[in-house]
Structure 1
Amino acid sequence: MIWSLVGVLLAATGLGGVAIWQNTYDIREERVTLRQGKQTLDGVLATPTDGRGPYGLVVFVHGDGPIDATHDSFYRPLWESFAEAGYASLSWNKPGVDGSSGNWLDQSMDDRADETMAAIAWARQRPDIDSRRIGLWGASQAGWVLPKVAARAPDLRFVIAVSPAVNWQQQGRYNLLAQMREDGASAEQTAAALRRRKTTLRLLRRDASFEEYRDTVDDPQGMTADRWRFIKKNYTADATADLRAIQGTPVLLVLAGHDINVDVTDTETTYRKLLPASLLRVEQYPDATHSLVKHNLEQSELKLTLTAVFAPRALFASGFLTGQRQFLKQANADASKGGRT
């Protein structure tokens, strides 16, 4: 029994060492504070460890939810990959998350764009940041923020849009139906869900209160007053006009083959229609989910957890981290030539 216990302890110690090693990244992280008006946002600036700045910068724009600066460490493999290309990364806790003031559910997409512009202005004042090489990286809900910022700041070096939607209401319907299929819902269940959605849209158009929504919809599905207010601010969001207004900024559109959140066919069609071919690059990852995690991992909670602990870089679809790094290396090469594309 004693030797068995010793063996277990040694194995546990070894696995713990592997986990620590695999979750150690070749970046230097600095805690920073960003200010926008009266609001303060706690964030992280991750820089290459070689100490030879000024660096280009990737400004991260989160998707939906109460996300912290590292996205529970999910961003760190990306930061490391970007650092290998000579870029720093800037990310922050959403308002109301881990010390940042405010409440992210109070924000419109315009508010989120203002916040991102403030972060870019902050970065331009840093001597270790090359203001000529600042670009954006954003996922999912960031699809309604990135084009707004790029239209306002035409001197951005690039935009990387990962799994973005174009129209809020179209995306919501697509996600609802895709999730119902994924869950094996019956025709009756799907019809009921579509009726709830129709009622919800009718209430949103009337600017109904949360109390009226709660009393009208028979299955609120976790809706809160704050979330209802957030949806009312943003349910008409559409990226079309902002995409059309982008001038001269290269865009990398990253799409997944197993995305039940966003209709990737519609997104790609819209981006190709509205952006010049010379500015747009599209990368497809057939084995990926909406978050660019390997599909087979998201199918198993155990596999997903073990990979996150012991091999976090392997969470992402094959070639994704390499593709991101190569895109930034090309952006560096273009910058050295004085070009934009």
Structure 2
Amino acid sequence: MPLGRRAGAGRRRRWRVLAGVLITLSLLAASAVAVVVWQNDYDLREGHVTLRHGDTTLDGVLALPGSGDGPFGLVVFVHGDGPMDATHDTFYRPTWESFARAGCASLSFSKPGVAGSEGNWLDQSMEDRADETLAAVAWARARPDIDGRRIGLWGASQAGWVMPKVAARDAGLRFVIAVAPAIDWQRQGRYNLLAELRRDGASDEERAAALHRRETMLRLLRRGASVEEYHSAMRNAEGPEGSGGNEDMTADRWRFIAKNYTSDATADLRAMRGTSVLLVLGGHDTNVDVAETERTYRAILPPGTLEVRKFPDATHSLVRHDIERSDTALTLAALFAPRALFADGVLTGQRRFLERLGQTERT
């Protein structure tokens, strides 16, 4: 065979191999996209809604069960800390779907200044957040597709200072699902600081320096210091700025902390004693002292109104501990199996709480 013919045959074989590889990669990519679309398709009917509260308009989502005309029970979502949109970057949707299977809709608004909502969430006190939640409940009660007798709250972390205020003022609320709520803002902050220092293997000297910076910050808050004074004090504090001092602290964030650092849920918990409460706690929570939270809830709320569910493998966000430790695992699970993000039993445990409430109402 002439050399040119052999070379041409070799090129054709290489092109066939390359074409086969490209086709295989394309099929794999298409399959991956199909899996992502399928796993992120929820049995819900989501609609965009708005709420006028005071001088601002909030953008939100009302997620109804996939079928039926209602009226449905409703879970109003109360966010934790941070600039959260209505879906919490889609993280809420598996929970919404679980609630929909119990016959309940879910309502969530983006925080002020987030997504399409007006305002600035850092301007809010916990009282402001409670007022906003009460407005959302009142808005929902006026809708024909919502059963106003079956409205409750779901909230995580910082919402633990908001929901008891709401339940104390609205006796018509049917339930509260409290996920990893703290009791006292200052004790929670200290617990979180020490837990993170232990996790990171901090030395005794680093621990002492961080606690010193924290006490300095609290003294500044108590005397109404400015954020500039805070930064100056942190620069002069022993050791580099770390968990006890934040060089990225903005003026807005400092004002937010100053408004809320004395928050304590105890009195409001006493005022909501007639509300059915599900307390949901994770075994790997470095943000909140869940043992203190459980003790306080049990001491204040009547046993007949309180149910406590503990998930040993769950973190503060109720995500599986083994997944949350790895950014790669967290990203892949969020894309390809978002329902599997949550520790075993988390979604079904909350759904069954709502189902039991529904059965009680029918009997």
TM-score by length of 2: 0.92
Name the residue aligned to 1:194. Answer: 211
Name the residue aligned to 1:99. Answer: 116
Name the residue aligned to 1:208. Answer: 225
CA distance in 1, matches of 2:192, 2:147: 39
Residues 82-161 of structure 1 aligned to structure 2 (within 5 Å): 82-161=99-178
Q: Aligned match of 2:272 in 237, 241, 246?
A: 246
Aligned residues: 337
**1:314 is the counterpart of 2:340:** yes
Structural RMSD (CA): 0.7
CA distance in 2, matches of 1:275, 1:76: 30
**What is the Cα deviation at residue 247 of structure 1?**
3.3
Which of 280-289 and 148-157 deviates more? 148-157
Local SS of the residue matching 2:113: coil
Name the residue aligned to 2:8. Answer: none
List alignment gaps of at least 5 residues for structure 2: 1-17, 236-240
CA distance in 2, matches of 1:247, 1:229: 32
CA distance in 2, matches of 1:298, 1:165: 21
TM-score by length of 1: 0.98
Name the residue aligned to 1:303. Answer: 329
Q: Aligned match of 1:282 in 308, 329, 334?
A: 308
Local SS of the residue matching 2:166: helix
Q: Aligned match of 1:35 in 35, 39, 52?
A: 52
CA distance in 1, matches of 2:357, 2:73: 10
Name the residue aligned to 1:4. Answer: 21
Name the residue aligned to 1:70. Answer: 87
Residues 94 and 104 in structure 1, CA contact (< 8 A), matched pair in contact too: yes
Q: Aligned match of 2:249 in 214, 223, 232?
A: 223
CA distance in 2, matches of 1:256, 1:106: 30
Largest Rg, 1 or 2: 2
Runs of 4+ displaced beyond 4 Å: none
CA distance in 1, matches of 2:116, 2:349: 33
Local SS of the residue matching 2:322: helix
**What is the Cα deviation at residue 155 of structure 1?**
1.5
Tell me the alpha carbon deviations over residues 237-287 of structure 1, each in whole angstroms, 9 at most, x when there is no partner: 000000011131110000000000000000000000011111110000000
**What is the Cα deviation at residue 101 of structure 1?**
0.7
Name the residue aligned to 1:47. Answer: 64
Name the residue aligned to 2:353. Answer: 327
Name the residue aligned to 2:183. Answer: 166
CA distance in 2, matches of 1:125, 1:336: 23
Residues 32 and 45 in structure 1, CA contact (< 8 A), matched pair in contact too: yes
CA distance in 1, matches of 2:171, 2:192: 32
Tell me the alpha carbon deviations over residues 33-83 of structure 1, each in whole angstroms, 9 at most, x when there is no partner: 011111110000000121220000000000000000000000000000000
Residues 281 and 311 in structure 2, CA contact (< 8 A), matched pair in contact too: yes
Residues 138 and 146 in structure 1, CA contact (< 8 A), matched pair in contact too: yes
- Identity value in percent: 67
CA distance in 2, matches of 1:154, 1:126: 19
**What is the Cα deviation at residue 91 of structure 1?**
0.1
Residues 262 and 290 in structure 1, CA contact (< 8 A), matched pair in contact too: yes
Name the residue aligned to 2:293. Answer: 267
- Quick one: which amino acid aligns to residue 265 of structure 1? A
